[in-house]
Structure 1
Amino acid sequence: MRDLDAIFVAMQQAMRAAPPAAVWDSLALYGGSFTALPEVWIRRFLEAAAIWKAQGRIRQVRCSTRPDAVDAAGLARWKALGLDVVELGVQSFQDDALAASGRSYTGEVARRACGLVRAAGLGLGVQLMPGLPGQRPGEAGQDVAQALALHPEGIRLYPCLVLEGTGLAVRWRQGLHQPRSLEAMAWTLGRAVLRCWEAGVPVWRIGMLEQPGLAQHILAGPRHPALGTMARSRAIFLWMRRHIQRGRGAIRLILPRRVSGEIWGVAGELRPHYARLGVHHQNMSWHEEDIVQIMELTA
């Protein structure tokens, strides 16, 4: 448990070194299956967090864990100790994809775990991993639909990458796993983001957090420093395509200014797609409201 000692000490040092007036939205106990730790360590971390929460230095405490590492009794205990949100690393609800990825649970176990978190009165986060081995076309969308049906507070989308030193790296070298291309994954993520927006569920993160030393261990997979922008810009385009009738004649668009930096995609990659809809820079204008107006211009 030496590593946990070091992490606990580092957490306390960070809080002591922070300015007294600093307030954080969350203390996140991530990086593994928090609820699979020995109970003494779970209690130790949560009791420390509860002190900072009572002092007003953090607003909520959240953790990430596996779906097969929660039960009703444990969730009740941890909530009483101050835990607010549990993010479940579901990755997929599809049994074939979970089995092919070496996961220790089924889709039904994942769904049940989500229900247990909500029944305990805790906030629920769902982490999905599109592009897993064994995942068939369309199943990434089904995973998003199933996650949204469970009414989470937020969703994270982590496209599957091949990392050195993993079983997936062995399969990749043997030609048994072909990662999704960046372009295909960007559209998959765009469709997922649009579904989340329409359901009113925030997407907390898209893609792995860039950490020092991580890049050298990534062997293959859909990775890009602006993956979130690529996904959100495609979500905007898909929405626009749905609402702009082809061949309707000249149109004028009035759009929320907050999307102006993402509508064209990374380096303007979506401009040709918009052009096919008759949408160009010249027939766009911006306002401060979160309302989209599509007007047909009369001759």
Structure 2
Amino acid sequence: MRFAHPEPSPASARIWPVFLPFAGCPHRCVFCAQDKQTGRDDADLDAVRRELETDLQGALNQGRGPYELAFYGGTFTALPAPWPETFLALADRFRKSGLISRVRCSTRPDCVDPDGLKLLAALGLDMVELGIQSFDDGALRASGRGYSGKMALAACAVVRDAGLALGIQLLPGLPGDRPGLFQSDVRTAAGLAPETARLYPCVVVRGTPLVDLWERGGYAPWTTDRAVHELAEALPVLWAEGVRVIRLGLAPEPTLDANVLAGPHHPALGQSARALALFEIIRARVRELGRRPSVLEVPRRYSGEFFGHARELAPTYFELGFAEGSIRFAETELFSLE
């Protein structure tokens, strides 16, 4: 029995991230800690521009690239004029030289409008990642997001209508969470067929309003085990619609790591979730096989994540019927089960 991993192929271009913490944000959400995530307290936009121009020129001189330029950490479409246009003009200059192949930004669903996005698209913006967080009104209200699920859906349509690629960011385990909510959000997101998705389980970070709610017993974050299982269940749903899941959990950052007080923040969260999702796929194939498996040949590119963090899934594979040495990694594109 031969089968492919259902995950869509990764993008070829490397990302050049530009962090604009809190820049353009209309207010602070209860969970938000951009200063801890980026290691910067705020964004001096002119300093960011000068540093970016210098670094891009250096990369061009060294013959590096191409890169996809990505503006993260703030609300790009709500930056004061003329900053969106200024950053896009800089990107266009280096696009013409071949260093930049694409430009994306992140923003809020309540900070996009048809005319504004069409203008940015004409200036060279290619993709918008919307920080949806949830499509559920209750969770959005409890988290202080300031918009509704209906507005989030409408924002996705606005991005598409402007001719831009769509990315969706979800933040499961928010205040107002309930069983099944995240999987419902995932199905909604998958149905919109975005190009990419990021899944960031909510954590309690020092200095955010969420700390007080957590300390008073009004908020219970997910455990790491629950996060792994919820993410593993979500991945195949998104993969089935061709959605590339480009981040699971917050990226490690010393400033952030030192300030997480509670919640599923673990450097191997993504590895564990992806490994568990793959295990469930293989378990279904073993059931189709209808007997004890003798050999599983695995494409070598999955060797680093196959057994999960610290080989946590090795005993589970043995319980499934695989003997020691029956799982082999090979230079192949397809899995082979016998």
TM-score, normalised via structure 1 length: 0.93
1:284 to 2:284 alignment: no
In structure 2, what residue type is equivalent to 1:9?
R
Counterpart-to-counterpart distance in 2, 1:12 and 1:171 = 42
Once residues 180 and 173 of structure 2 are traced to their aligned partners in structure 1, the CA distance between those partners, rounded to angstroms, is 10
Partner SS state of residue 44, structure 2: helix
Matched residue, 1:11: 52
Q: 2:107 aligns with which of 43, 65, 75?
A: 65
Residues 1:262 and 2:312 aligned together: no
- State the Cα distance separating 1:247 from its structure 2 match: 9.9
The 5 Å alignment of 1:40-55 reads 40-55=82-97
Q: Which residue of 2 aligns with 1:221?
A: 263
CA distance in 1 between partners of 2:273 and 2:174 (Å): 18
Distance 2:151 2:202 in 1: 21
What are the equivalent positions in structure 2 for 1:1-299 lying under 5 Å apart?
A: 3-20=44-61, 21-245=63-287, 248-252=290-294, 253-295=296-338
Letter paired with 1:104: G
CA–CA distance in structure 2, aligned partners of residues 139 and 187 of structure 1:
14
Tell me if the contact between 2:127 and 2:165 (Cα under 8 Å) persists in the aligned partners.
Answer: yes
Q: Whole-Å Cα distance in 2 between the matches of residues 70 and 189 of structure 1? A: 28
User: Which amino acid counterpart does residue 185 of structure 2 have in structure 1?
Assistant: D
Shift of 1:210: 1.9
Instruction: Return the alpha-carbon distance in structure 2 between the equivalents of residues 151 and 245 of structure 1.
Output: 30
- Of the structure 1 ranges 119-128 and 22-31, higher mean CA displacement relative to structure 2 is found in 22-31
Q: 1:273: Cα distance to partner?
A: 2.1
Please say if residues 94 and 135 of structure 1, whose CA atoms lie closer than 8 Å, have aligned partners that are also in contact. no
CA distance in 2, matches of 1:156, 1:290: 25
Contact 1:246 1:277 in 2 (8 A): no
Question: Post-superposition shift, 1:288?
Answer: 2.8
C-alpha distance in 2 between matches for 1:245 and 1:127:
34
TM-score (norm 2): 0.83
Q: Aligned AA for 2:194?
A: P
Distance 1:247 1:212, change over 3 A: closer
Partners in 2 of 1:212 and 1:24 — Cα distance?
28
* Structure 1 unaligned regions, length at least 5: none
Aligned residues: 295
Distance 1:281 1:146, change over 3 A: farther
* TM-aligned CA deviation for residue 283 of structure 1: 2.2
Check the 8 A contact 2:191/2:241 in 1, yes or no.
Answer: no
Taking only aligned residues, the RMSD between alpha carbons, in angstroms, comes to 1.8
Q: How much does 1:213 deviate?
A: 1.6
- 2 CA distance for matches of 1:280 and 1:114? 48
Aligned residue identity for 2:321: G
- For residues 38-76 of structure 1, what are the alpha-carbon distances to aligned partners after superposition, in whole Å with 9 as ceiling and x for unaligned? 231111111111111111111001100001100110110
**Could you tell which deviates more after superposition, 243-252 or 64-73?**
243-252
What is the rounded CA distance, in whole Å, between the counterparts of 1:197 and 1:289 in structure 2? 20
User: Which has the higher relative contact order, 1 or 2, with Cα contacts under 8 A spaced 6 or more apart?
Assistant: 2
Cα gap change, 1:182 to 1:5, in 2 (>3 Å): same
Q: Secondary structure at the match of 2:297?
A: strand
Per-residue Cα deviation, 1:203-234 (whole angstroms, up to 9, x for no partner)? 11111122242222211110111112111101
Post-superposition offset of 1:246: 8.9
Deviations 1:179-203 (A, max 9, x none): 1110110111111122222222111
Unaligned runs of 5+ in 2: 1-22, 24-42
CA 1:259–1:281 in structure 2 vs 1: closer, same or farther (change >3 Å)? farther
C-alpha change, 1:246 and 1:275, in structure 2 (3 Å) is farther
SS at match of 1:274: helix
2:205–2:262 CA contact under 8 A, matched in 1: yes
- Go from structure 1 to structure 2 and tell me whether the alpha carbon gap of 1:246 and 1:153 turns closer, same or farther (over 3 Å shift): closer
